[in-house]
Amino acid sequence: MDQLTYRVILAVILIGFVIHRAYYTRKVQHSNESVIEQPKPGLVEQIANLLSIPALLATLINVVQPQWMSWSALPFPAWLRWLGVGIALTGFALLQWAQQALGNNWSDEIKLVAGQQVVIQGPYRWVRHPIYAAFLLILGSLLLISANWFIGGLWLALTAVDVSARIRTEEAMLLNRFGERYRSYMQRTGRLLPRIAKRRRTV
């Protein structure tokens, strides 16, 4: 397969991800008066934002001048790179499903707003943070598609760091807001993957 094809796919996935986020950020907006709680970004989130700069630059260089990134290239076979494309598409499907299930309960920033509900429809029936799981699938797939450990490693690292910090903050806020109702929801769902029910042992 022509290397140009993978570079184009890499660019399309990133652009598609940005457009998808921008669309829902514009579509779902909350007035300042409706915000109940909105913590400031912590150090971990700031580190993730900083990592996005070299990740974007390295990706752009790889698309335009791939020879400049050859020092970190990986000898991945074509089937593995296409597997990455499949993972990315799965991530986009999950992302859209989760966005539709959340509706106006979604926000690009971590915050609680008036009238917010604990959503248990769609993928939220099994997973508490399907949007973050989708982020990991989409941006993590760039490691396989780019066949470049520097590019893929940066995207995977910044996404994992940001997602872990967001989950801790969000769950603490939701527990404080919804109490036992959210605690019960946590007990029957997984964070990023469906919870595997444990069989009771009988004597």
4-50 pLDDT, tens digit per residue, is 999 999 999 999 999 999 999 999 888 888 888 888 878 888 888 89
For residue 194, the number of C-alpha atoms closer than 13 Å in the C-beta half-sphere is 8
Q: How far apart are CA 134 and CA 139, in angstroms?
A: 8
Residue 97 is given by DSSP the state H
pLDDT at 84 over 90: yes
- Quick one: average pLDDT of 58-66? 95
Phi, psi of 81 (to 5 degrees): -70, -35
How high is the mean pLDDT of the chain?
A: 92
User: What six digits make up the tokens of 168?
Assistant: 């801790």
pLDDT tens for each residue of 96-109: 999 999 998 998 88
Percent of the chain with pLDDT over 70: 96
Q: How far is the C-alpha of 116 from the C-alpha of 105, rounded, in Å? A: 6
Contact 45, 170 (CB under 8 A): no
Query: In order of start, what are the domains of the chain with their CATH numbers?
Result: 3-188 (1.20.120.1630)
Helix and strand element counts for the chain (H, E):
7, 2
DSSP H/E element including 113: strand 112-113
